[in-house]
Every structure is written in C-alpha cells, then in structure tokens.
Amino acid sequence: MQADRSTAVKPRRLRRIALKGLALLIGLPLLYLMAGVLGSIIPANPGWKQPEQGVTIFVRTNGVHTWLLLPKSAQGIDWQGLANPAHIKDVGCAGGDYLAFGFGNRDFYLNTPTWSDLTLQTTLAAAFGRGPGLMHVEHVHDPQPNEYQVPLRLRPDEYRRLASRIRESFVLDGAGKPVPLIGRGYGPADVFYEAKGSYNMGRTCNEWTGEQLREAGIRIGLWTPFSDSIMRQLPS
C-alpha cells in the first residue's frame, strides 16, 4: 500500500512543479513590462524644459527600435572623422546633413536584415545579451517631423554632452578611429561599427537611447526598454 501512495504523489508533485513553472513563465514577462512602464513614467532630470532656441536633433522610431539623429556639424562638433563617407556602400548617399545613431545586438543586426529573417534563436540571443553590441549609423538628408520622427531642441552644452556620450559608444582602434564593418548595412547609406558593451533585457536599443538623453540632462524615463518608453515622453 505504501508503494501505491508513493507513486500517486509523484504526478501531484509534477503538476505543482509545472504550475510553478507556468506562473514563472507568465509572471516574469509581466513584471518586466510593468517595470518598463514604471521606469518610463518616472523621469530623470524632471526640471528640464525644451529651450526656445538650440540645436535640433530628432528621435526616430520604427515602432520597435529608436535612433538619435544629430546634425553632421553643429556647435563645433563635426562627425566626419567618425562617420567617414567612405565607410558606406554608396558615397553619393553621404551628402545628407544628419546622422542617425542606433545601438543593438550584433547577431540581430547582422542576421536580420528584414523582419521575415527574425528567428527565435536570434531573439533570445538578443534578449539575454549573448554577444557584443554594434552601432548602426545612417546618413540622412533633411529629416522632417512626423509621427515616427520627433524633433528635440537642445541647449549647446546639452548637445555637446550628448555627442560626447554617443562617441563613447564606439570601439576605437589604436589610431583612435572607429571600426566599421565595411559592406555591412541595410542599404547604400548606412553601416555598422563595433560598439562597447552588450545588448540585453536591461540595456536594449531603446534603453541606450534613453541613456544618452539622460546623461545629456534631458527629461526622459529612468529606464526605457521599449520604443514607447522613449517616444511618449518627448515634449510635443
């Protein structure tokens, strides 16, 4: 009889373990989502207000990923030495007046040129920070405000801090130059560069954007893991 009771207990234990596992599987994403929402609505630099005059940058989104668009030359900062036109596939596309900077997971950037190329393995690798990050730089001509591209004016000192922070995201070689992945990009006007740090659930592409804005002194959420975490907090 004892043996029968023992074998009857095992399925109950397995059910309890399975239920706990299911609760964890459902609960962790919900906690992450709640933390992301909370982090985005509690502001860093709460006293900051957009100036009437200043350097205009743009914050761009595709609904998932965000970029920062900075003028190629402003406040004595010229990006020519970092974003060399010779690095992109078509030098003729380098005539734009802005550069779009984004940070992301290396495997995701290089192996997912379109959403149809997205795999579960790539998604999990990006989420859990397996592998280094990359910087994505695109030459942009005359960006215009729209629902996916929001202008943001910065004071000169704020702009200089932002530019300095972005520069610090690039790996530099022995000569102090960035390291491009020549021939690797989504189109003729963009290219990837080696970046410092890794991408993970805590430091997503959007959190990188938030980091840069926070360090520049701009009012933005304390933690911004989602595109919406950034875009909803920008001044209208």
Lowest mean pLDDT among 22-26, 36-40, 205-209: 22-26
Largest pairwise CA distance in the chain: 86
Beta partners for residue 71, in sequence order: 98
Mean pLDDT of 99-105: 96
**Residues above pLDDT 70, as percent of the chain:** 80
pLDDT at 200: 85
> Is 29 a member of any domain?
no
Distance CA 208, CA 40 (A): 13
């919900």: which residue's tokens? 30
The tokens for 197 are 């740090």
Give the tens place of pLDDT for each residue, 124-137: 555 555 568 999 99
> Is 215 a member of any domain?
yes
> Is 124 a member of any domain?
yes
Closest by CA to 118, choosing from 108, 126, 128, is 108
Could you list the beta-strand ranges (E) of the chain.
43-44, 55-61, 66-71, 73-74, 77-78, 98-105, 132-140, 149-154, 190-198, 220-221
Can you give the residue range of the structural domain that contains 119? 42-231
pLDDT at 123: 58
pLDDT at 162 over 90: yes
CB of 201 within 8 A of CB of 129?
A: yes
Cα dihedral value 152, 167, 179, 226, nearest 10:
-50
> Is 206 a member of any domain?
yes
> Is 142 a member of any domain?
yes
Give the tens place of pLDDT for each residue, 32-87: 788 788 889 999 999 999 999 999 999 999 998 999 999 999 999 999 889 999 99
pLDDT at 82: 93
pLDDT at 1: 47
Helices and strands counted in the chain (H then E): 6, 10
Distance CA 113, CA 158 (A): 33
> Is 26 a member of any domain?
no
Q: What number of residues does the chain have?
A: 236
pLDDT at 26: 56
pLDDT at 22 over 70: no
pLDDT at 49: 96
The alpha carbon of 22 is separated from its chain's Cα centroid by a whole number of angstroms, namely 30
Distance CA 40, CA 218 (A): 13
Mean pLDDT of the chain: 86
Q: How many domains does the chain have?
A: 1
Could you give phi then psi for residue 202, rounded to 5 degrees?
Answer: -85, -30
For the CA atoms of the chain, what is the radius of gyration? 22
> Is 219 a member of any domain?
yes
Which contiguous run of DSSP H or E holds residue 209? helix 205-215
> Is 35 a member of any domain?
no
pLDDT at 23 over 50: no
């900051």: which residue's tokens? 48
Could you give phi then psi for residue 101, rounded to 5 degrees?
Answer: -115, 130
